[in-house]
Amino acid sequence: MNGLAETVAHTLAPGLLYPTGGAILFALGLYGLIRRHHLVLRILALNIMGSGVFMVLLGVAARGEGAPDPVAQALTLTGIVVAVSATAFALALVVHLTRLTGHAVMLPGPPDDDAPVEDISREAHHADGGPAESSAGEDRSA
Amino acid sequence: MNVLLVLFDLVLLAGIVGVAWRCLASTDLFRAVVLFITFGLLLALAWVRLEAPDIALAEAAIGAGITGALLLVTLERLRSIMAERRSGRRHTPPPDPTGPHALLRALHDPPPERRTFLPALTFALVVGGLLVTALWHQPQSVGLEPVVDAHMDISGVDHPITAVLLNFRAYDTFLELAIVLIALLGAWSLGRHDLIPARPAPGPILPGTLRLLVPVAVVTGVYVLWAGSHAPGGAFQAGAILGAAGILLVLARPRQLPMAPGTPLRLGITAGVVLFLLVGTYGLVAGHGFLGYADAWAYPLIILIEVAATLSIALTLVALFVAGRPAGDDT
Amino acid sequence: MIANALTVILIFAGLVFFAAGTAGLLRFPDVYSRLHALTKADNVGLGLVILGLMFQAGGPADILKLLLIWVLVLAAGTTAAHMVAQRTWTHGEFESDR
Amino acid sequence: MSLFYMAAALFLLGTILLGLVRVLRGPGSGDRMLAAQLFGTTGVTILLLLSLALEESALVDVALVFALLAVVAAVAFVRQHGLPEPPDTPIHRQPPDTPGPERPHDDR
């Protein structure tokens, strides 16, 4: 009984609780990255994965007695600034892609993976415009 | 006290994971963005619990000030581009901006397909499970804290994180500044920026608030930069605060973005990297190794680099927000 | 001792206002009435908590910092409420593209 | 005393999580933005309480930064939907109980 209480107390210490939460966030972001098609949502998923990594780093740094590891904290600090500038660049790319193709949704691949490469290039679908493809993007992914 | 702390941790983590889950499950992009802003707020609280006030400070400036505005303005740009394309199409009737189906899909992601459910779930579960297992069985170690602590007196500053960032591992910081610069070059390579296609709210309230907020933001930025030598704070946090203040100014300007003159802007944006490189090369020539300082010069050099880095980060973040080369620049 | 008691009382009163603000956010019928939660309840709640924390502050600099935080939150809340209300008024509560 | 601060912070965290219902349910984007703004105020209070409970005076600076930048997202929000409306556009307000097709889609 005593051992159980000790295990629970050990498990609930921030040094173990937060890394676990970070791992869950990472897996969640990975899941969202695979499942969602809108590029802005995918960027959000990448950011959530990154936050999971930061949480793991900081949680491991805060383990044990005494002050937390300053090197891990400094790395996380650089990581946050890099993440925000990468996000800004990615969003600029999404805006540019939308201006070129008219949509910001990454379409799922064709049903059979052996299809020739030309079929996957969607720009031809969307570049010329016309009623036939009026909502091809939405219909295919719906 | 301990029970309360554990309860706080559990509630906070449940909130963070729940908000992230609902954010990624949203079909409405605006809702996802608002949830992401809340996610940033909760993360800052988590960093506080992990004894990382420096990170919480950066997260506050970036999460509250920069990411939210960036995402909301991106949504608005996407919406206006799609509206333009749709209205330019020949065979469809001109869209009614108030009509039910006009722009229904612009900021909307259809729910994911069924066939990706099982593979994605399995993959995420396996990766997450492996991570958790590895983290739970990681051996206890003291980390680098004693090493940093032992060398604090030659670092030139009193705050361990600033010492690591600008002295012990200045390499990281230098490359980080370079990466931020490269991200900006990438954004600029896409061409001119789009105007933010909307007017700010007319009336005296927003300008009045700006007149209060912007000076306070500048003072806070300088204060945080100064505090970095002995307490949580430093160049990144100060740069993020000043950058957010700049974004606020850009957002509040009616219709037109401020025309930044090209050359001073470029000089300011590259100041951090260039100064870092000069100091590093000097250290190499003087025999302290690349990016090494003489002990007596450490403090003034660190302050000099931090000021330049703050300026560069703030300007770069604003330029990334505007996303595009400055207007009136024909190279 | 008296300072501690005052702190507890003021923070407790602040929490009541926060609870009222959340209840308002959840229960009021439309955006305009929900604005009350932001502009009134939570700002008063923060004011009370800050007033309570001032009794624990170390010196005049800390007190000034706390006051500055309250002023900034007041300004932000006012501006945000004004802008959200104005936008809802001109664009309608439900936009056509979501 | 720090026990009391911690309990108060926990209570405020609870109100944030309750308020999330408003973000999830909407119905309008104004409601969601309003709720996010409200979380900012609550978050500032939690940080101030934690700074006393955990005896970390730097958290006051974090709260200061949050208070300073709380307005940025709201200003970005107002800059949405600025395409010049035609002069004859009716303000498309409709009663909340009309199940119009432009009701925000709720996927829960």
Per residue in A59-81, pLDDT (tens digit) is 888 877 777 888 888 899 999 99
Q: Which of A34, A84, A93 to mutate to test the interface with B (most CBs of B within 10 A)?
A: A84
Contact status of C79 with chain B (Cβ, < 8 Å): yes
- Residue B322: pLDDT band (50, 70, 90) is confident
- Nearest neighbour of B79 by CB, restricted to C71, C87, C97: C97
**Chain mean pLDDT for chain A:** 75
Instruction: Count up the domains in chain D and report the number.
Output: 1
Cis-peptide into C60, omega within 30 deg: no
Q: Do A59 and B50 touch (CB under 8 A)?
A: yes
What pLDDT does residue B241 have? 92
Check pLDDT > 50 for residue D99.
no
Domain that holds residue C38: 2-91
What pLDDT does residue A133 have? 38
Per residue in B69-83, pLDDT (tens digit) is 899 888 888 887 777
Q: What is the CATH number of domain A13-106?
A: 1.10.287.3510
Instruction: Count up the domains in chain C and report the number.
Output: 1
Region D65-94 average pLDDT:
63
Assess if residue D86 is contained within a domain.
no
Domain that holds residue D39: 2-78
Q: Do D38 and C91 touch (CB under 8 A)?
A: no
Least confident of A26-30, A104-108, B126-130: A104-108
**Chain mean pLDDT for chain D:** 75
CA distance A34 to A136: 21
Check pLDDT > 60 for residue B96.
no
Check pLDDT > 90 for residue A55.
yes
| Inter-residue contact B250 to B258 (CB < 8 Å) | yes
What pLDDT does residue A110 have? 54
Question: SS3 of A105, please?
Answer: strand
C3 C-beta neighbours (distance < 10 Å), count = 11
What pLDDT does residue D81 have? 57
Assess if residue D74 is contained within a domain.
yes
What pLDDT does residue B44 have? 92
Chain C closest-CA separation from residue D8 CA (Å)? 7
Assess if residue D96 is contained within a domain.
no
- Residue C17: pLDDT band (50, 70, 90) is very high
Assess if residue C96 is contained within a domain.
no
Chain B closest-CA separation from residue A129 CA (Å)? 7
Q: Among residues B188, B185, B189, B249, which one has the least CA distance to residue B217?
A: B249
**Chain mean pLDDT for chain B:** 81
Region D85-97 average pLDDT:
38
N- to C-terminal Cα separation, chain B: 62
Q: Do B1 and D6 touch (CB under 8 A)?
A: yes
What pLDDT does residue B13 have? 93
| Inter-residue contact C75 to B212 (CB < 8 Å) | yes
| Inter-residue contact B217 to D68 (CB < 8 Å) | yes
Assess if residue D25 is contained within a domain.
yes
Check pLDDT > 80 for residue B191.
no
Q: Among residues A71, B7, A62, A63, which one has the least CA distance to residue D13?
A: B7
Region B192-221 average pLDDT:
77
Region D73-87 average pLDDT:
62
The phi and psi torsions of D84 (rounded to 5 degrees) equal -60, 120
- Residue B301: pLDDT band (50, 70, 90) is confident
Q: Do B209 and C79 touch (CB under 8 A)?
A: yes
Least confident of A94-108, B86-100, B193-207: B86-100
Per residue in B35-46, pLDDT (tens digit) is 999 999 999 999
Q: Where are the domains of chain A?
A: 13-106
| Inter-residue contact D60 to B58 (CB < 8 Å) | no
Distances (CA, A) of B193 to A22, B68, B187: 36, 19, 9
H/E stretch holding C91: helix C60-91
Assess if residue D106 is contained within a domain.
no
What pLDDT does residue B197 have? 56
Within 26-85 of B, beta carbons closer than 8 Å to D belong to 26-28, 30-31, 34-35, 37-38, 41-42, 44-45, 48, 51, 53, 56-57, 60-61, 64-66, 68-69, 72-73, 75-76, 79-80, 83
Assess if residue D26 is contained within a domain.
yes
